[in-house]
Amino acid sequence: MFSRACEYAIQALLDLVERQPGVYTPVREVASQRNIPYHFLGKIVQQLTKRGLLIANKGPRGGIALSSPADEITLLQVVEAIDGLDITTRCLMGLPSCHDAAPCPLHIEWGKNREQIMEMLTQKTLKQLMEESGSNQTVV
């Protein structure tokens, strides 16, 4: 449902949740820990930093850290930063003219699912995701 970049973003953020708050972690270390291609993660980190979900610090003691406590960062913020929110408006069949007045065959059913997905993304925080998954499992 989400792009590979979004999945990696969630995994990288969860890696940071497991670490001491306010301590900068090198991107290379997160990439290695989560088996994410380093250069790909670098681009993802840029997007997350630009959207205010991460703080990046350059230099010998540099790295990345969460910009807010894990219980204040929702999955919706992560998805929006990486994939955008097309999931809330895009037709499941890819039709450009699908809307309430002229629905595709899946419009009504997808609308119900879309509402549930949006509710879950809005309510679920990184902290909750980590607690529910257990720190030894790879999430996503």
pTM for the model: 0.86
Q: What is the mean pLDDT of the chain?
A: 90
User: Is the pLDDT score of 99 beyond 80?
Assistant: yes
- The dihedrals phi and psi of 56, each to the nearest 5 degrees, come to -115, 140
pLDDT of residue 140: 46
3-state DSSP assignment of residue 72: helix
User: How far apart (Å, rounded) are the C-alpha atoms in residues 13 and 53?
Assistant: 9
Please say whether the beta carbons of 27 and 45 come within 8 A.
Answer: yes
> Residue 60 has which token pair?
């010998």
Higher pLDDT, 100 or 38: 38
Cα–Cα distance, 85 to 87 (Å, whole number): 5
* 3-class secondary structure, 125: strand
Condensed to tens digits (0 to 9), the pLDDT of residues 68-97 reads 999 999 999 999 999 998 877 788 888 888
| Residues 120, 114: Cα–Cα separation, whole Å | 10
Q: Dump pLDDT digits (tens) for 44-63.
A: 999 999 999 999 998 888 89
Is residue 17 over pLDDT 60? yes
| Domains of the chain in sequence order | 4-133 (1.10.10.10)
Q: What is the pLDDT of residue 90?
A: 81
